[in-house]
Amino acid sequence: MRGAVSQIDPFILREILDINGAVANYNTDGKTQVAISRPPGCGVILSIGQSNASNQIFPGAFVPANAANILNFNIGNGGMYQATKPLLGANGSGSTIWLNLADQLITAGVYTKIILVPIAIGATYVADWAAGGRLNHRIAAASLRCVTSGLIPDFICWQQGENDAGGTSAADYAARLRSVVQTFRDNGVSSPFFTAISAHVPSGNPTLMNRVRQGQADAASAPLGIYIGPDTDVYTGVTYRDVSDLHFNDNGAGSVATLWMSAIRTTLGI
118-167 confidence digits (pLDDT tens): 999 999 999 999 999 999 999 999 999 999 999 999 999 999 999 999 99
Strand partners, 45: 116, 155
Q: What pLDDT is attached to residue 26?
A: 87
Count of other CB atoms within 10 angstroms of residue 130:
22
Strand partners, 34: 80
pLDDT tens digit sequence for 65-112: 999 999 999 999 999 999 999 999 999 999 999 999 999 999 999 999
pLDDT above 60 (res 113): yes
Q: What pLDDT is attached to residue 25?
A: 85
Of 87, 93, 129, the C-alpha closest to 20 is: 93
Domains of the chain: 33-268 (3.40.50.1110)
Q: What is the DSSP string of 186-228?
A: HTT----EEEEE----TT--HHHHHHHHHHHHHH-BGGGTEEE
The answer to whether residues 237 and 245 touch, using CB atoms and an 8 Å cutoff, is yes
Helix (H, G, I), strand (E, B), or coil: what is residue 148? helix
Rounded distance, CA 119 to CA 110, Å? Answer: 23
